[in-house]
């Protein structure tokens, strides 16, 4: 099955302002691409454009998933195609239990899902969604919702943000096993690089100045950023 993502000459505007310009990116099935970049460089914008969020206007280029151009599809239609996303700051919803949310999106009893145990979220299932959850609980809850849908493409926006090392390790191992078992294509945004300790990423790149730069080995890219900062990336080009 073709789970590949290919982005060709993508330009995205938000509120009339160009955030991404002529961006090219490709992720093959079973491959993980880690995306670094300064704050405000457009990393989250890229994920929202891939998901088809309103107000993220694609003015040029195309997004191809599984061999199909999905520019014209709604967010819901893209999710049904198999695109799953984990956001940096998920909403808190009173009156809706985590169990209800999982059953709503999967149409099967939540307790039957293997990820309830793997992510240690059994005690969260009957609590209001993300209400008074710790950072680790919130991210594990979100990851359960995403993985329970068995996505073909994973988009993860800073999965380690606000999470302690123990939870990062748990989530990373679960993610890595899922990606390998199901040949899922995945895009992971990170600032800290902690996820590299647990997820077998094949490639990394930097998003800055509206485009992709420094496409290389994940560890090399991360170490260069740590040593020289993002300024060195201005001299690099993309793929």
Closest residue by Cα to residue 159 from 87, 207, 64: 87
Q: Is the pLDDT of residue 3 over 90?
A: no
**How many residues are given for the chain?**
239
Query: Which position has the token pair 């390998």?
Result: 180
Q: What is the structure's pLDDT at 91?
A: 84
- Residue 166: count other Cβ atoms within 10 Å of its Cβ: 9
pTM given for the model: 0.91
Q: What is the structure's pLDDT at 1?
A: 61
Q: What is the structure's pLDDT at 214?
A: 86
CATH of the domain at 94: 3.40.50.300
Burial letters 4-36, b for 16+ CB under 10 A, else e: bbbbeebbbbbeeeebbbebebebebbbbbbbb
Q: What is the structure's pLDDT at 111?
A: 62
Q: Is the pLDDT of residue 164 over 60?
A: yes
Q: What is the structure's pLDDT at 90?
A: 84
Which tens digit of pLDDT belongs to each residue from 171-223?
Answer: 999 999 999 999 999 999 998 888 899 999 999 999 999 999 888 999 999 99
The domain of 42 spans: 5-235
Percent of the chain with pLDDT over 70: 97
Q: Is the pLDDT of residue 5 over 80?
A: yes
123: buried, middle or exposed (CB in 10 Å: 19+, 13-18, 0-12)? exposed
Which tens digit of pLDDT belongs to each residue from 71-120?
Answer: 999 999 999 999 999 988 888 899 999 999 988 888 777 666 789 999 99
Q: Is the pLDDT of residue 237 over 60?
A: no
How many domains are contained in the chain? 1
Q: Is the pLDDT of residue 234 over 60?
A: yes
């Amino acid at each position: 099955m073709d789970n590949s993502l290919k982005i060709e000459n993508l330009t995205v505007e938000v509120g009339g302002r160009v955030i991404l310009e002529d961006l090219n990116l490709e992720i093959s099935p079973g491959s993980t691409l880690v995306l670094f970049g300064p704050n405000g460089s457009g990393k989250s914008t890229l994920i929202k454009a891939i998901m088809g969020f309103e107000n993220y206007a694609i003015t040029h280029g195309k997004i191809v998933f599984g061999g199909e151009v999905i520019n014209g599809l709604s967010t819901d239609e893209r999710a049904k195609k198999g695109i799953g996303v984990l956001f940096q700051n998920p909403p808190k919803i009173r009156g809706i239990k985590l169990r209800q949310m999982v059953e709503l999106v999967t149409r099967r009893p939540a307790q039957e899902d293997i990820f309830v145990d793997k992510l240690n979220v059994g005690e969260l299932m009957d609590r209001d969604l993300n209400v008074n959850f710790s950072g680790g609980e919130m991210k594990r809850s979100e990851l359960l919702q995403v993985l329970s849908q068995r996505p073909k493409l994973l988009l993860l926006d800073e999965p380690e943000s606000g999470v302690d090392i123990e939870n990062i390790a748990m989530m990373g191992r679960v993610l890595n096993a899922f990606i390998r078992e199901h040949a899922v294509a995945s895009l992971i945004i990170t600032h800290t690089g902690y996820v590299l300790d647990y997820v077998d990423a094949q490639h990394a790149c930097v998003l800055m100045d509206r485009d992709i730069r420094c496409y290389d080995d994940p560890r090399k890219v991360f170490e260069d950023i740590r040593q020289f900062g993002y300024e060195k990336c201005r001299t690099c080009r993309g793929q």
